[in-house]
Amino acid sequence: MNRRNFNVFAAALAASGFGALPAAASNWPSKPITLVVPYAPGGTADALARVLAQHLGTKLQVSVVVLNKAGASGVIGAASVAQAAADGYTVLYDATPLSINPHLQKLPFDAAKDLQPVALVGVTPMLAVVPKNSPYNTLQELIAAAANAPGKLTFCSGGQGTVQYMGSELFSQGVGIKMLHVPYRAGGLALQAILAGEVDMGFFNLPALSSHIKGGSLKPLAITSGKRNPLFPTVPTISETGVKGYEVYEWNGMFVPSATPADIVTRLNAAVREVLAMPEVKARFEALGSEIVGSQPDEFRKRLAAESARWAETIKAAGIKKE
């Protein structure tokens, strides 16, 4: 092709709009964004999503509205985003159950295929706690008691798909003990059960426990993070007390429908990371006991794959069948 013909071809290509961004992508965002949280208001994911939404709206110069769509351990809300228009105006703010649920039940969507990771926002550790009148003051004491009476000691959670349950199960497998799982309809109900002394122990997110521990109604035995938390510096890690290498968090991250244009994902990721770098946002996350990450999409995708593989192995070892 000579230069003259090439110029004619190039002009025609430009006039056709081929290679240009779709109009919906080029002027994004031009209207309010809905940030779907697939859990009830008041939890850690909801609290952090609202902190992020407030500042993200200012950064993008549009309203970012948090919409709670709770149910089925996050499945209902996540499915609504997976099936939404891929235009960047419906965004999912999800947590660890997204990487657990596929191994426990048949879902109305495929998270790996129908959702595109935007950013891992942050991670929040859990604490292993017992009621204030519990005879156990250390994790080693509880492990010894469970080893002497397999299946007698109880632990609670908001259900099989929750990180509360999976973190406890991973711990039990790591030290070779067997405890009885007592599921509740929600994490808040499970927390009330342990406060009332109805169960022996439980794993819960640090933000949900902080006031109860400081008030003396719960005793913390260990934390699930890889290092001690500055909010509770005297509480040892589980790795220190019995399970070498144990490290479990509830992660929070953002997703969009898989067909969302790459340019929108890039811009949304950049805006999220800028917000997470703001001192007031970092201070709020730290006050809740959460650690900001602010990853790139590919980094988040790799972490999700590793999380999914770990929980699949844990579920298989526990003998839990997919429903």
Q: Which domains does the chain have, with CATH numbers?
A: 32-124+250-318 (3.40.190.150), 125-241 (3.40.190.10)
CA pair distance 254, 262, nearest whole angstrom: 15
Would the pTM count as exceeding 0.85?
yes
Sequence-distant (6+) residues with CB within 8 A of 142 are 130, 136, 153, 200, 201, 221
> What's the CA gap between 248 and 141, in Å, rounded?
21
Q: Are 95 and 39 in contact (CB under 8 A)?
A: yes
Low-confidence ranges of the chain (pLDDT < 70): 1-25, 323
Number of CB atoms found within 10 A of residue 153's CB: 22
Cα 200 to Cα 128, 154, 268: the distances in Å are 11, 5, 44
Tens of pLDDT, residues 8-19? 444 444 444 444
Per-residue pLDDT tens for 229-282?
A: 989 999 999 999 878 889 999 999 999 999 999 999 999 999 999 999 999 999
